[in-house]
Amino acid sequence: MSFLACRKSFGIYINSIYNRRTSFLFSSGSPISHTTTETPSGPIRFSHSVSENHMSPSRSPINRHGSHQIPLPSTPSVSEKPISTSGSPIFRREFSGFCSRAIPSSKNPCQFHQNPSILTPFQYFCTEAAVQHSTADGLTVEGIVTSNWPILDETESDWKSHAAAIAQSIHLIKKRLKWKKLVVRLDLLSMQLNKPDIWDDPVHAGKISREHGSLMGKMKAVRAFERELLEHIDMINLAREENDPEMESESLKALLRMRRNSKEKELQAMLSGEQDSCSCYIEVQAGAGGTESMDWAAMVMQMYKMWAQRRGYKVTVVDEMSGEIAGIKRATIKVDGEYAFGYAKAEVGVHSDSDLRIERFRAGGAGGQHVNTTESAVRIVHIPTGISATCQNERSQHQNKASAMAVLQSRVDQLEMARQAQMNAQHTQSLTDITWGSQIRSYVLHPYRMVKDLRTSYEVSDPDSVLEGDLDGFILSYLSASLDKDEDGR
Amino acid sequence: MKLNFTRVCCPSNFSTFIKPSLCTNLHRPLCSSSLSSSHTSLKPQIPLFLRPPMHSATVSDLQKWHDWAKCLASSVGTTFLDSDNGPDSSLLCRELKWLVEDTIEDHSVLSQMSIENGKRSVRLRAGVEDLYNMWKQRIEERKPFQYIVGCEHWRDLVLSVQEGVLIPRPETELIVDLVADVVSENEDLREGLWADLGTGSGALAVGIGRILGSRGMVIATDLNPIALSVAAFNLQRYGLQDIIELRQGSWFEPLKDVEGNIAGIVSNPPYIPSDNISGLQAEVCRHEPKLALDGGLTGMDYLFHLCNGAASMLKPGGLFIFETNGEQQCKCLIKYLESDLRGSFCNVDIVSDFAGIQRFLIGFRQQQT
């Protein structure tokens, strides 16, 4: 059981008047590292909490100018906030068993003994890792990747191009599966399973063999794919030698099929975590911040509902507590469907929006027609970080604002880069460790319109579509970035 | 100024009501046809930075003037600030820098001024004698800096201004942002007819005209012929003569032909209560036109008038944005809309300026059911 508390990072934002921020609380019924789980069917749940202070999310174009509005009196109080972590275990127990699990990880250990791919004459667990397939003339998948054959369009009937594309996919898939670690882990599991006394503790043995089976399945799938590629290459070479155009064209077609198939396999490899195929819970939670924070919480919840529906998942509201005037204090939905967890895990973290405040610098008096001044300095504050920039040298307020914005942007970018570097350094096996407690996305509705993922820099200029659930771009870019940048996962 | 009746890209849905009106304009001497640049008595002043560099002075003479001017600015200290919230020395020194920028043709001279040999001659857009006078007027008469240089930088525009025309305020820039936001999501309004009432220098009309682009149309009205001649200069400078039409008259008076067809109305009407005018800072009360400032006893005479007019002039779904004196006026207007004009508008809201003052009243005309 791992409950991750995000309140620490939350505290940074507590006193920012204009900030509207949402953070995910994430907990998993069965944690990523499978050392504590007894049953493989624990529910996965997310929670998502909204800071207590923020500007109205404003559906009308006018209210979008939240940053111009008078600050609302804030009543930040940590104790008033519902503590999501304490609520989570209750839900977990209530709903444990609801979770569907698609990974065929619960095989009977006996099945492994019948496994046809085991090459040794004895029933002996091994990883098959040492096996390096190659074609008749010694070409390996690695060899294809390193020879950098040009990859042409699918429509070009060039076997080398197809083979290169497939080999590259295999390369990426291995990276995503963390191949090297996979091999090491499999060796370790094999060693344990080969101990004669392993079944003295049947529970432990069952767990070990389940994991072994699951990892073995992944590895074999990749190996089989590799072998298929090399066999087709052999066939093409053979067909040429024997001058059999029909056979050559058959093999070429087969390569093309493989090439198309490999894209799907890449995606699957991205969601290769132990629980990625599970259904999950998503919880959105508003802090003690009054109506506006609850209003924003409702919008975020709506965003996830619509996202789930777009993906064809079944959405069930399992818990909802409405705000007194508008919005929700908290809500939990259950998202049923293949890989719901795998996708949704990318959303864990802090979401923030309207995080800029623009103010007239050295403002005073009644302003407007009362005053004639050439002073039109503007200060812009990036609320989550407190970074600000002021410009007073330009001759119009508009230009001062633009200059201040540029300065602020570079300062925030700089900080963000430092933060990213720090996060990369701390990067561990678990995705949730990376995202935990950190701001993952900002939603800016004014003075410009943008939703930006701070982890990947993926951004769109249309917040409305994002709030309507168009999240896949963010999710996929994050998943691929976090997996593919991994140095040498093979 | 070129007039609009030759407008080429007029969308067909406008031509039905605009074109006839433009034709009638030809026969109405008081309307826009009287505002062409051929109207010699109202030739607008050319801003300093646009004047030809016909003058010259040695670097040392210029330096001498500059030292004198700086000294004068410094001597002000916080006197103006303390007496009526006017500019302090640091602000005046920055204005002096801008005055030099607008005056000198070759800006590279600026950086060399102190090290260059004094005999070298510099080409200027105003004589050194004029410069002495200008700065005297600025400090001694408290003439607004924008009237001295004949321009105001507003948004990304440099607008010509002169005495008799209100200098556009930074707060008012926000109206253009508000319009931009609304039309970005509403094609119907973006391609509709807009009106800027009491346009003054034409700031709002030019700002909005540039946002609407070639498919939009703005009519800018003003009672004051000086304002209209300045506005004509400005919109021509930004090449908007095909998009913006100027009409002389009081508020809605020149818009009778488009009643009920306007997509958006914006205005920065006079809103200062009459009694407050004399207490304003010297730049404003001594130099800017009362016509553009004095809003009657409560300052709300014209705001009420605008609300009343908007209720019938806007088309259903049309937008209005009015600048006000602040929270009190905004709230009072909202009450008025909810009582006397109940049912006319929807989504009425108050928007604050960057100083946090509730500056703008904004709303949409109720859709007909």
Interface of B with A in 239-268 (CB under 8 A): 268
Give the model's confidence band at A446: pLDDT under 50 very low, under 70 low, under 90 confident, else very high. low
Q: A374 contacts in B (CB within 8 Å)?
A: 87, 91, 94-95, 98, 145-146
Report the SS3 class of residue A477.
Answer: helix
What is the C-alpha to C-alpha distance for residues A468 and A309, in angstroms, rounded to an integer?
A: 11
A301-335 pLDDT tens trace: 899 999 999 989 999 888 888 888 888 888 888 89
Low-confidence ranges of chain B (pLDDT < 70): 1-41, 109-117, 369
- Cβ-nearest to B354 among A68, A71, A375: A68
Beta carbons of A369 and B156 less than 8 Å apart: no
Nearest to B179 by CA among B245, B300, B263, B243: B263
Domains of chain B, by residue range, sit at: 48-149, 156-365
Only one residue has tokens 């005479």, namely B301
Write the CB contacts of B367 (distance below 8 Å, at least 6 apart in sequence).
Answer: B316, B317, B346
Angle of helix A159-176 relative to helix A245-270, nearest 10 degrees, comes to 20
- Cβ-nearest to B359 among A71, A368, A376: A368
What is the C-alpha to C-alpha distance for residues A439 and A353, in angstroms, rounded to an integer?
A: 10
The answer, yes or no, to whether residue A12 has pLDDT greater than 50, is no
The answer, yes or no, to whether residue A349 has pLDDT greater than 70, is no
Q: How many CB pairs under 8 A join A and B?
A: 131
Mean pLDDT of A358-364: 80
What residues does CATH 3.30.70.1660 cover in chain A?
2-102+275-484
Token duo for residue B93: 């020194």
- What local confidence, expressed as pLDDT, does residue B322 receive? 98
Q: Is the distance from CB of A167 to CB of A141 less than 8 angstroms?
A: yes
Q: Does A374 touch chain B (CB under 8 A)?
A: yes
Q: Is the distance from CB of A405 to CB of A380 less than 8 angstroms?
A: yes
What is the C-alpha to C-alpha distance for residues B269 and B25, in angstroms, rounded to an integer?
A: 25
Beta carbons of B292 and A62 less than 8 Å apart: no
Q: What percent of chain B has pLDDT over 70?
A: 86
Beta carbons of A398 and B144 less than 8 Å apart: no
Q: Does A372 touch chain B (CB under 8 A)?
A: yes
pTM of the model: 0.56
Q: Tell me, what DSSP letter sits at residue B157?
A: E
Residue B278 carries which side chain, given as an amino acid letter?
A: S
Burial level of B146, CB count in 10 A (0-12/13-18/19+)?
buried
Q: Does B82 touch chain A (CB under 8 A)?
A: no
Q: A371 contacts in B (CB within 8 Å)?
A: 85, 169, 281, 284
- Cβ-nearest to A360 among B91, B268, B355: B355
What is the C-alpha to C-alpha distance for residues B205 and A339, in angstroms, rounded to an integer?
A: 54
Report the SS3 class of residue B58.
Answer: strand
Q: Tell me, what DSSP letter sits at residue B343?
A: T
Beta carbons of A396 and B281 less than 8 Å apart: no
What is the C-alpha to C-alpha distance for residues B250 and B258, in angstroms, rounded to an integer?
A: 15
Q: Does B347 touch chain A (CB under 8 A)?
A: yes
Class for the domain spanning B156-365: alpha beta
Token duo for residue A346: 């990318």
Q: Is the distance from CB of B322 to CB of B179 less than 8 angstroms?
A: no
Beta carbons of A61 and B185 less than 8 Å apart: yes
- Cβ-nearest to A372 among B155, B167, B353: B167
What is the C-alpha to C-alpha distance for residues A163 and A169, in angstroms, rounded to an integer?
A: 10
Rounded to the nearest 5°, which phi and psi values hold at A144? Answer: -65, -45
Residue A422 carries which side chain, given as an amino acid letter?
A: Q
A188-192, A365-369, A437-441: lowest mean pLDDT where? A437-441
Shortest distance between the Cα of B311 and any Cα of chain A, in A, equals 19
Higher-pLDDT residue of B195 and A75 is B195
Q: Is the distance from CB of A259 to CB of A228 less than 8 angstroms?
A: no
Q: Does A60 touch chain B (CB under 8 A)?
A: yes
Q: Is the distance from CB of A437 to CB of A451 less than 8 angstroms?
A: no
A196-205, A252-261, A453-462, A475-484: lowest mean pLDDT where? A475-484
- Cβ-nearest to A370 among B94, B178, B284: B284
Q: Does B84 touch chain A (CB under 8 A)?
A: no
Shortest distance between the Cα of A392 and any Cα of chain B, in A, equals 10
Nearest to A330 by CA among A24, A4, A12: A24
Q: Does B156 touch chain A (CB under 8 A)?
A: yes
Token duo for residue B166: 């209100």
Residue A5 carries which side chain, given as an amino acid letter?
A: A
CB atoms under 10 Å from CB of B140, counted, come to: 9
Q: Is the distance from CB of B369 to CB of B360 less than 8 angstroms?
A: no
Q: What percent of chain A has pLDDT over 70?
A: 62
List the CATH code of the domain at A122-270.
1.20.58.410
Token duo for residue B304: 């009420």
Beta carbons of A396 and B272 less than 8 Å apart: no
Write the CB contacts of B332 (distance below 8 Å, at least 6 apart in sequence).
Answer: B300
- ipTM of this complex > 0.90? no
Give the residue from chain A lying closest to B353, CA to CA: A68
A222-277 pLDDT tens trace: 999 999 999 999 999 999 999 999 999 999 999 999 998 888 888 888 887 777 77
Rounded to the nearest 5°, which phi and psi values hold at B199? Answer: -70, -25
Query: What fold is seen in the domain A2-102+275-484?
Result: Alpha-Beta Plaits (3.30.70)
A119-123, A130-134, B82-86: lowest mean pLDDT where? A119-123
Query: Over the range A270-309, which residues count as b (16 or more CB within 10 Å of their CB) and which as e?
Result: bbbbbbbbbbbbbbbbbbbbbebbbbbbbbbbbbbbbbbe
Write the CB contacts of B334 (distance below 8 Å, at least 6 apart in sequence).
Answer: B348, B350, B361
